[in-house]
Structure 1
Amino acid sequence: MDSIIELRHLKTLLALEETGSVSLAAKRMFLTQSALSHQIRALENYYETPLFERKSSPIRFTPAGERLLQLGRELLPLVATAERDLAQIIEGEAGELRLAVECHTCFDWLMPAMGEFRPLWPQVELDIVSGFHVDPVGLLLQHKADVAIVSEAEPQAGIRYRPLFAYEMVGICAKDHPLAAKAVWEAGDFVDETLITYPVPDDMLDLLKKVLLPQGINPPRRHSELTIAIIQLVASRRGVAALPYWTVMPYLEKGYVISRQITETGLHSELYAATRSEDSGKSYLDNFCQIVRDRSFADLPGLTVLEWKEGGK
């Protein structure tokens, strides 16, 4: 008996479940909203039953939709395992994956992804290149690293970029700070503030690069290597900071600091996984990048999808 159900249908339904909306699921699947809706309509027309309630938010699935979701949860991991097994048969199981990062907060979400990767590829030596790296792509070209997590996909010969996700940077201050009264912070609000940052060059800080320096604002700095130390300094009214929302959310929930949107449109940053073009045939690298992306969307709040840009931005 032939079936209309395809893997793409199951992936779409799972994306709908995870995101809770058609528009967000379409972005996750790199489809237009109309293309995603067409997929769902094809299934609904074939089985003559709706799969989810159109006016519910988040989406509520019908019994028929729940049954297909169950199929997706059972089948898609089996397909992924089979594809991984085939890659290991064809390419061999052994390899090396040395990871370099330029992001101080990356380890919050990298560690779970690494924990998921290890048992799937036990013969691949997985390691982190020690230290913070201003030029992790340079380590790729020197063959000192195999994957680099970077904030910009600058076109460069021999380098391939995979989009991971975009996220919002929020301003944080003490609960009794004067800026706590403002819902949105603009560039001018930082003029008389001490900015607490990681000890990195200005061109690696999106608040400075995208908001403050273009307006000629260059506030005094105080540096710390540790996120928790930045939070403590902010809570003690030693200054203000801009950090990823996922990083500060636990401290917001505990009431240590408060967060505010930066500019009317928000301050958004991006992350990419960079690899050498010559390594494009190594399935374990592809699988690692996919695991990082999937785990991040599952574990971190407030992420948005980045479009695939093979050569860079």
Structure 2
Amino acid sequence: MLERTHLRVIQAVEQQGSLTAAAQVLCVTQSALSHTMRKLEDNIGTAVWLREGRSLRLTQAGRFLLNIANRVLPVLEHAEGKLKQIACGERGTLRIGMECHPCYQWLLKVVSPFLDAWPDVDVDVKQKFQFGGVGALLDYEIDLLVTPDPFYKSGLNFQPVFDYEQVLVVPQHHPLTALEYARAEDLRDQVLLTYPVPTDRLDIYTQFLNPAMVVPKQHKTSETTDIMLQMVACGRGVAALPRWLAEEYCIRLPLAVVRLGEHGIAKQIYLGTRENDGDIEYLQAFTELARAYQYPTGATNP
């Protein structure tokens, strides 16, 4: 009754916006696509779409089937890809998801020796997820998740690979550099620069500002570390970053590092995988390389 073709059609129409565009993507005629979906609607006894002018709106049944498609199709594609790799004697691709913007710099230094050691494995890095990194891992969109915030759930495994300290990055001659450490109150009159991440996932807020009920003068975001720290160096604001990354930039730009609070903010980076992928050799090898990497100043192996 319900076939993979139906799920692909529903997903394609939702992504492309029309039956015509979906038919082109799926390499079928619009009449064939319409016939396939009418037959499905007859079999299940309810409509999948309602027409509103020239557009289509999913019904409750259609929305349910779209959710099924978004979960099931990636799993089937992943399984088929793995089977083809096994049949051809290939390893395939390690798909890495990033939930840690500054850790991209660290990842590059781990990926290089990994590619040298595993010439038959490609690496693909994904940084944006519609439903979060954990969801992407569970739905086989990625094979490994790099995150500072592990989410322990049945079927997933998170391993810490290194410790680091979150610090405040300020211009080289900023008044805060005269202090042994910064207090939350010291940021009331500062422009805070961060990555475009919700504040409930930013350590500078959750572990430093929010407990003291402090709000910075202004909060701005930047997609890239380079631009963010160029702005800091020019006196446009301050930023919170891992110490090891901040100290790398201090060599190139007129920047300084200030501890956040008397005891600092201690963090860890974790690698998340699916438990049933534990026997994949190149996944294990990547984790071992990540743990063995000689981390820059300010970072230590757990």
Query: For the Cα contact (< 8 Å) 1:101–1:133, is it kept in 2?
Result: no
Q: Does 2:260 match 1:262?
A: yes
Which residue of 122, 133, 137 corresponds with 1:136?
A: 133
Q: Mean Cα displacement is larger for which, 119-128 or 157-166?
A: 119-128
Query: For the Cα contact (< 8 Å) 1:101–1:132, is it kept in 2?
Result: no
Query: For the Cα contact (< 8 Å) 1:167–1:269, is it kept in 2?
Result: yes
Counterpart CA distance in 2 for 1:132 and 1:183 is 39
Counterpart CA distance in 1 for 2:130 and 2:288 is 23
Match of 2:182, as an amino acid?
Answer: W
* 1:1-313 aligned within 5 A: 94-129=91-126, 131=128, 135-219=132-216, 220-254=218-252, 256-295=254-293, 298-306=294-302
Change over 3 Å in CA distance of 1:107–1:132 after alignment to 2: farther
Runs of 4+ with deviation above 3 angstroms: 130-134
Q: Quote the offset at 1:126 in angstroms.
A: 2.0
1:161-201 CA deviation, whole Å, 9 max, x = no partner?
Answer: 11111101111211332222212101111111111111111
Secondary structure class of the residue paired with 2:257: strand
Q: Quote the offset at 1:130 in angstroms.
A: 5.0
Change over 3 Å in CA distance of 1:132–1:192 after alignment to 2: farther
Secondary structure class of the residue paired with 1:184: coil
Counterpart CA distance in 2 for 1:228 and 1:168 is 20
1:240-265 CA deviation, whole Å, 9 max, x = no partner?
Answer: 11111121213323451111111111
Counterpart CA distance in 1 for 2:197 and 2:256 is 24
Counterpart CA distance in 1 for 2:202 and 2:130 is 14
Query: For the Cα contact (< 8 Å) 1:100–1:133, is it kept in 2?
Result: no
TM-score by length of 1: 0.64
Query: For the Cα contact (< 8 Å) 2:243–2:299, is it kept in 1?
Result: no
Instruction: Choose 1 or 2 for highest CA Rg.
Output: 2
**Which consecutive residues of structure 1, in runs of 5 or more, have no partner in the other structure?**
1-91, 307-313
Aligned to 1:46: none
**Structure of higher RCO (CA pairs closer than 8 Å, 6+ residues apart):** 1
Counterpart CA distance in 2 for 1:194 and 1:279 is 44
1:241-290 CA deviation, whole Å, 9 max, x = no partner?
Answer: 11111212133234511111111111122110000011011121011111
Query: For the Cα contact (< 8 Å) 2:196–2:223, is it kept in 1?
Result: yes
Aligned sequence identity (%): 35
Query: For the Cα contact (< 8 Å) 1:102–1:133, is it kept in 2?
Result: no
Match of 1:182, as an amino acid?
Answer: L
Query: For the Cα contact (< 8 Å) 2:291–2:301, is it kept in 1?
Result: no
TM-score by length of 2: 0.66
Counterpart CA distance in 1 for 2:130 and 2:263 is 30
Q: Quote the offset at 1:205 in angstroms.
A: 1.3
> What is the root-mean-square deviation of aligned Cα atoms in Å?
2.0
Counterpart CA distance in 1 for 2:249 and 2:297 is 14
Aligned length: 214
